[in-house]
A and B are shown apart, each in its own frame.
Chain A
């Protein structure tokens, strides 16, 4: 390159309209494509994610319209019609107290989705907050927060949940709190590692060079760029939380009778597995489907949001 000898005439001309020089086709009509829109487009193409979405929507609607679908209530006992097989009267049969299983499964969708939602939200908020603080400020702050995460992760999660419920007392609400707590370090570590890698990005240094304050850098630059893995983890966490709630319910530490919680339904009818298998199959299948649905969406989201997957 011999720039100094004589400035190339071409370059001089290009200066007049450099936008044109950089790319040949460039008109006002080109639409702005935001990275979010792009990801949504990717997601729409994903069949599995669509199946997951349909499953979840099915359960959400089932939960909402439950009272319209059945003439029974979930706690109504009918001791004459105990352990009835599925029939036109009882679509999914009745359990050992003569309660309509379809009604209980439908109302159970409400409970499970609520548990998933609140547990994930709680874990998400506190985990993200702690993760950002640890990742952005580093040093001893990171040291303390990370060690707390390590301690929480050192216990098997269900054991820790049992311990927390044992302290707080057995109820659905406490089970929910316990599940939120055991999920905090999962979100926290995820966010922390993402923030640490983002902190080294040149555009974060650029933001500091512009004179932005820490709060603004975190809210406008770090958070939007670390939200993708958080969304994926939330969806996957939704499934896990429901599973954990079911496990606690099964152990009698979650929802208390007569709340129609799927895990607790499994526990109370496991003695009848040979006599009346439908009492287990329906709630079990529901748990499986909901968790599957969330995992499918989560996987789809991960593919759509991960820039490395883009071709």
Chain B
């Protein structure tokens, strides 16, 4: 693991509630708590993985950090500067340093633009006015992500999914960002292509000294790439620790259940599976206390009433569970 000096990003009490509108007048009848009080810190140069099942708020967390979705509450400190309240123009400037790679390489590239325009546009809007210089840089970026300079004149529909994702990565790299939020960058790709993209991303991290927040629902992908991993359930972070400690010694009952569901490559090996009962509760009406208490095998009385604090139980091992009070 890389040495981690200082935090590059601090998320404190981030919340994103989506209003549910109903009735003939479109009044607010409730809210979906997509992200409900999430806090974590990302160190410079590390890869922080965020896992959780679909709908647990991983992507919303990522997009709220970049204010692509305006957070409801909480603060995001990027290099010790609160970015949740800066104005549009300042945020626009900050986007040079904070980038995102999207999940769907088919939807995230404008079908009417050439690769040159797609990758060159972020350069243009951040002040590289000379077309010649841009062209040069685009070619360079394409080579960096493993495409060829002659691909620049083509359109997205002429590429495969893996190649498109490389274009998306080149676009994110254009302005030499410090932090990249990877929003399930490989889940739309074939397994054989996934490893190529993951290796490329690791290489780029080393080459350009990047920091990633790597959002995924595939546990093996996250295990492969991350230094530290956070587990989310129903809009909340339930556990956050080093990769090896999470996989070796999971503390939170949800993490334990999640890890027990990872299939083993050897069909003869039997392992004890923790089968969770019931469905994930609706984020519009989350359970009181600990959100997981409805399905937790170890639920106690206190779990139904008091929301557990997200706090370290060991050095650098955060858990939100009353079992460790």
Contact = CB atoms under 8 A, between A and B. Distances in A.
A221 B162 CA distance: 23
Contacts of A23: 159-160, 163
A212 B121 contact: yes
A211 B122 contact: yes
17 contacts: A2-B265, A3-B220, A4-B223, A7-B199, A11-B195, A12-B199, A15-B203, A19-B163, A33-B155, A35-B112, A35-B155, A202-B103, A203-B108, A203-B111, A205-B102, A224-B112, A225-B111
B311 interface: no
Interface in A7-31: 7-8, 11-12, 14-15, 17-19, 21-23, 28, 30
A18 B200 contact: yes
A32 B122 contact: no
Interface of A: 1-4, 7-8, 11-12, 14-15, 17-19, 21-23, 28, 30, 32-36, 201-203, 205-213, 216, 220-221, 224-225
Given A33-B158, A212-B121, A206 B92 contact: no
Contact of A4 (B92, B111, B200, B220): B220
B68 interface: yes
Nearest to B99: A209
A202 B155 contact: no
Contact of B171 (A1, A8, A206): A206
B160 A22 contact: yes
Given A30-B158, A32-B158, A4 B100 contact: no
A133 to B, nearest CB: 18
A228 B315 CA distance: 58
Nearest to B150: A28
Contacts of B146: 15, 17-19
Contact of B111 (A2, A17, A35, A209): A35
Contacts, number: 131
B100 A209 contact: yes
Given A32-B114, A203-B109, A206-B171, A15 B92 contact: no
A1 B104 contact: no
Contacts of A32: 114, 153-155, 158
B125 to A, nearest CB: 5
Contacts of B196: 11, 14-15, 18, 21-22
Interface string B83-114: 00000000011011001101110011111111
A216 B114 contact: no
A1 B155 CA distance: 32
Nearest to A200: B107
B6 interface: no
B41 interface: no
A212 B120 CA distance: 12
A19 B148 contact: yes
Contact of A3 (B63, B150, B166, B221): B221
A294 B121 CA distance: 37
Nearest to B121: A210
Interface string B169-182: 00100100000000
A208 B91 CA distance: 10
A279 B34 CA distance: 71
B110 A225 contact: yes
A212 B93 CA distance: 10
Contacts of B110: 203, 207, 221, 224-225
A209 B66 contact: yes
A27 B159 CA distance: 12
B166 A18 contact: yes
B284 interface: no
B147 interface: yes
Contacts of B113: 220
A218 to B, nearest CB: 13
Contact of A213 (B102, B125, B174, B218): B125
Contacts of A2: 220, 265
A211 B195 contact: no
B198 interface: yes
B236 to A, nearest CB: 25
Contacts of B92: 211, 213
B158 A22 contact: no
B155 A205 contact: no
Contacts of A209: 66, 68, 95, 99-100
A14 to B, nearest CB: 6
Given A203-B108, A206-B108, 9 more contacts: A3-B198, A3-B220, A18-B166, A32-B158, A34-B155, A210-B122, A210-B125, A212-B122, A216-B125
Nearest to B162: A22
A8 B194 CA distance: 12
A45 to B, nearest CB: 19
A29 to B, nearest CB: 9
A17 B103 CA distance: 23
Nearest to A209: B100
B61 to A, nearest CB: 15
| Most chain A CB atoms below 10 A, which of B104, B110, B174, B200 | B110
Contacts of A3: 195, 198, 220-221, 223-224
Contacts of B28: none
Given A1-B221, A3-B221, A4-B223, A11 B108 contact: no
A13 B122 CA distance: 31
B273 interface: no
B81 to A, nearest CB: 16
Given A22-B160, A224-B112, A1 B200 contact: no
Nearest to B105: A202
The 7 tightest CB contacts between A and B, nearest first, are A211-B95, A18-B146, A3-B224, A210-B122, A202-B107, A202-B108, A32-B153
